[in-house]
Amino acid sequence: MPSSTSSSRDPRILSFVLACAIFAVAELALTVLLPNPARAELQRYRQRVAEAPAGVQFMGDSAVGEGVSCEQLNRLVSMPDAPFVMLAAHGTGPVFAYYALKRELAAGTVPKAVVYAPSPHTFASSRLPKFVACYASPGEILEVACHTREFSEITYGLLCRASYSLRYREELGEFIRSRDRSALARLRGSRGRSAAARPDPAAEAPQPGTRTFTAGDLSPATYGKPFAALPMNDWAVRGLLRLAAEHHIPVVWAMMPVPKAVAESRLPFDFAARYCAYTAGVETATPGLEYANHMQEPPLYADCCFRDPTHLNGYGRAKFTDALAETLPPALARLKAIPPPSALAAQN
């Protein structure tokens, strides 16, 4: 005769098995019925890395990806032997740039130079879950785990990689709460999550905006604290510079513009000086690195040049690209990555 304890366990076990089965069916249905932009984004990312020409490559996150026009820069500078190309991904951090260069070198592509232009606030933000969930190979996940010891972040990324509903929890949650089909439509965006909500700066008219940022527009978690680099991000940056030094790839650290409102909010923390000191420190710690900074500190642009506190609008993009056409070639020429500006002018 079964005991009362075993009989009470049976319904619990049955309920647990039933819940797991329902979850598995729901996961399968979501995966089949709804698009998976992460998979398409991964394929494009791998193809872009594998096929990137050996030119002067911009690396970083969405700030440089949307804030610099390589087409405009190539017209202004005209370097047929070393064109400017973009190798940046939205919502990423230093770990992405490190492994992008590592994959390029494995594919036999050696850039003429790397222009690394990260958003400073990403150094204090963990982007490991997205890297593990959407980009990393099993070998890269193992290497990151061995070097960073961020097992909770990596575990969460693996869960997101395995679960459709967890990976797209924000869109699905918004749809459940509001029945707003635009939340699901974002999954069909060409650049993954929230792609439809991000305007393309290249398609915007090159006119200054009218927006000014207030304290309410600036998240304290992003813009209201001193500059800091998480150990995993510091490891990735040093790995990127070490790889560049080993393969004799010059590196220019480009400072992306910031709105005056953001700069003012960071004054009490001496943010710009700490950031510049960090960029100088990682350079001196990398023997054999050919390195230059295109500016001593992040340039300040009026708020009308930005569509949000981090990303330039079409007007700001054109303005910053014009400025890069003047400041970047001398830095690259000092590193012997391109001919001096006078030689380029003579060629043209």
Q: What is the pLDDT of residue 193?
A: 35
Question: Where residue 203 falls among pLDDT bands split at 50, 70, 90?
Answer: low
2 in a structural domain: no
Single-letter amino acid code for the residue at 81: D
Q: Is 1 part of any domain? A: no
N-to-C CA span, the chain? 95
Please report, as a single letter, which amino acid is at residue 242: R
Indicate whether 57 belongs to any domain. Answer: yes
Between CA 101 and CA 109 the distance in angstroms is 9
What's the rounded mean pLDDT across residues 148-175?
81
Q: Does the structure show a pLDDT above 90 at 4?
A: no
Q: What is the mean pLDDT of the chain?
A: 82
CATH number at residue 155: 3.40.50.1110
Question: Is residue 274 very low, low, confident or very high in pLDDT (cuts 50, 70, 90)?
Answer: very high
The pLDDT score that the predictor gives to residue 192 is: 36
pLDDT at 179 over 70: no
Domain that holds residue 18: 9-347
Answer yes or no: is 274 within a domain: yes
- 346 pLDDT above the threshold of 70: no
* Number of domain units in the chain: 1
Nearest to 297 by CA among 318, 266, 322: 266
pLDDT at 3 over 60: no
pLDDT band at 345 (very low <50, low <70, confident <90, very high): low
Q: What value does the mean pLDDT take over residues 54-59?
A: 90
- The 10 Å Cβ neighbour count of residue 244 is 24
The answer to whether 153 and 290 are in contact (CB under 8 A) is no
pLDDT-based confidence at 82, cuts 50/70/90? Answer: confident
pLDDT score of 209: 67
- Whether residue 3 is contained in a domain is answered as no
Element (H, E) at 116: strand 113-117
Residue 190's pLDDT is what? 39
Q: Among 46-55, 172-181, 249-258, which is the least confidently predicted range?
A: 172-181
pLDDT of the residue at 84: 92
206 band by pLDDT with thresholds 50, 70 and 90: low
- Edge-to-edge strand list for the sheet holding 84-88: 84-88, 56-60, 113-117, 251-253, 291-293
Q: What separation in angstroms does the CA of 75 have from each of 70, 79, 336? A: 9, 8, 21
pTM here is: 0.81
Region 300-329 average pLDDT: 92
Lowest mean pLDDT among 32-46, 49-63, 278-292: 32-46
Does residue 4 lie within any of the structural domains? no
With cut-offs at 50, 70 and 90, classify the pLDDT of residue 184. Answer: low
Q: How confident is the model at residue 223 (pLDDT cuts 50, 70, 90)?
A: confident
Residue 102 half-sphere exposure toward CB, CA atoms < 13 A: 18
Q: 7-11, 98-102, 109-113, 343-347: which range is least confident on average?
A: 343-347
Neighbours of 73 (CB within 10 A): 24
Q: Is the dihedral of CA 154, 156, 157, 159 positive or negative?
A: positive
